[in-house]
Amino acid sequence: MNSSGYNKMLNLIFSLPEQFELGLNIGFECGLIKPKVIENVVIAGMGGSAIGGDIVRTLSLQTGSLPVIVWRDYRLPQAVSPRTLFFAVSYSGNTEETLAAYREAKRCKSQVIAISSGGRLAQMAKHDGLPLLSVPTGMPPRAAIGLLTIPILVVLSRFGLYPDCKKGIRDTARLLGRRLHNWHKRAQRISRLLDGNLPIVYSTSRLLDVAAYRWQCQLNENAKVMCHIGQLPEQNHNEIMALSSPRFLAQKGVLIGLFDRTTHPRTIFRFRATLNLCKDAFSRFIFVNSEGRSALARLFSVMIIGDLVSVALAKRRGVDPMAIPKIDELKSMLASYRGKR
Ligand code: F6R
């Protein structure tokens, strides 16, 4: 593999602080009329376009005033109504599940906002006279995580559904700017341990569940490896019985524990006790602690180390972190499939 894919993906990760600034502008500059009544928020998207929704949902659990549902499918949940603030997010603008969800939300007369860099979604939103938050084109969607997250937070805060978030966003961008180089070095060391093993990522606080999921998706798409995730304390009530089975998994797991200051002290004890009880399952274990003040900063600090690990592991394995041929191929197979949309 030549190193151009690796360098491109790495540069995109290092561009996150700028994405935050641009995301702020996109969120503040779009013309929006505040809906009179909003009962819930639904964010529809797939893959790299949906994870920003997960971040917003997680943060809203702590400080937002409404339930946020993240939706990854064609048909919408029953809770969608004219009182729903509905975000349809597709970076390419051409993801069929998201387009179907957009159409259904329109049929339900929800307050629809589209977020995209172009494609069908942008065309439809313009044609339908609905607000469109345009993000710059030319990146893999998963690398546009700042652009696909920050504008949603800003819109929610403009509508009074989320606290003022400008300072938290700028602080997070500064933290990333300061720490990315060190995290990159750490990620390279972690990638050495993961090579040839199964990464098992456990979140220990509900703030970090989405970070564990991001680790998984990035290891899948960038490094092209399987990754297993779980959550403590829940893991202690089921999965603990299954570690190192089937037998070929014994000593093949590298356990990565994600920790935050919201991790309960008894969950820290549980993590250590689990390690003691299940020594056979893991060849190594790694602690990743969140950094920063705000929940947004702490969440991104843990998530981005995972992004950097996935790119470093791609390099070790000689695979291109930018290329996702099977996803592309599947999308073209679906494009020529005439079944009902
Ligand atoms: C590609 C990626 C994928 C896409 C997903 C949906 O970088 O991360 O998970 O995000 O296939 O496509 P979009 O984001 O264009 O709606």
HSE (CB half, 13 Å, CA atoms) of 228?
16
Q: How are the residues of the chain apportioned to helix, strand and coil, as percentages rounded to the nearest 5?
A: 55, 15, 30
Q: What is the pLDDT along the chain (341 residues), one digit of tens a residue?
A: 568 999 999 999 999 999 999 999 999 999 999 998 999 999 999 999 999 999 999 999 988 788 999 999 999 999 999 999 999 999 999 999 999 999 999 999 999 999 999 999 999 999 999 999 999 999 999 999 999 999 999 999 999 999 999 999 999 999 999 999 999 999 999 999 999 999 999 999 999 999 999 999 999 999 999 999 999 999 999 999 999 899 888 889 999 999 999 999 999 999 999 999 998 899 999 999 999 999 999 999 999 999 999 999 999 999 999 999 999 999 999 988 877 66
DSSP class of residue 76?
Answer: P
- Report yes or no: 283 and 197 within 8 Å, Cβ to Cβ: yes
- Find residue 40's DSSP bridge partners: 84
Q: What is the pTM of this model?
A: 0.97
- Report yes or no: 268 and 260 within 8 Å, Cβ to Cβ: no
Closest atom of ligand 1 to CA, residue 92 = 15
Nearest CA to ligand 1 atom 16: 90
Read off the amino acid at residue 37.
V
Phi first, then psi, for residue 84 (nearest 5°) are -100, 135
> What distance lies between CA 278 and its chain's CA centroid?
29
pLDDT at residue 64 in the model: 74
26 lines ligand 1 (CB under 6 A): no
Closest CA to 254 of 208, 193, 184: 193
Greatest Cα pair distance in the chain? 60
- Report yes or no: 78 and 110 within 8 Å, Cβ to Cβ: no
- Joined tokens for residue 40: 């819930």
Mutate to test the pocket of ligand 1, among 8, 95, 222 (most ligand atoms within 8 A of CB): 95
Nearest CA to ligand 1 atom 12: 95
SS3 69: strand
- Find residue 201's DSSP bridge partners: 229, 256
Mutate to test the pocket of ligand 1, among 92, 94, 221, 303 (most ligand atoms within 8 A of CB): 92
- CA separation for the pair 312, 16 (Å, rounded): 17
pLDDT at residue 341 in the model: 65
- CA separation for the pair 113, 232 (Å, rounded): 35
CA of 320 to the centre of ligand 1 (A): 16
Q: Outline where DSSP puts E strands in the chain.
A: 40-44, 68-71, 84-90, 111-116, 132-134, 198-203, 228-231, 253-259, 282-289
Long-range contacts of 277-280, Cβ-Cβ distance < 8 Å, separation of 24 or more: 277/240, 278/240, 278/243, 278/244, 280/243, 280/244, 280/250, 280/251
Closest atom of ligand 1 to CA, residue 90 = 16
Closest CA to 290 of 260, 255, 257: 260
222 lines ligand 1 (CB under 6 A): no
pLDDT at residue 333 in the model: 93
Place of tokens 């190193």: 3
Closest atom of ligand 1 to CA, residue 148 = 14
Active site residues: 221, 237, 331
Contacts of 150 (CB under 8 A, 6+ apart): 19, 20, 23, 24, 26, 27, 169
Mutate to test the pocket of ligand 1, among 72, 73, 89, 91 (most ligand atoms within 8 A of CB): 91
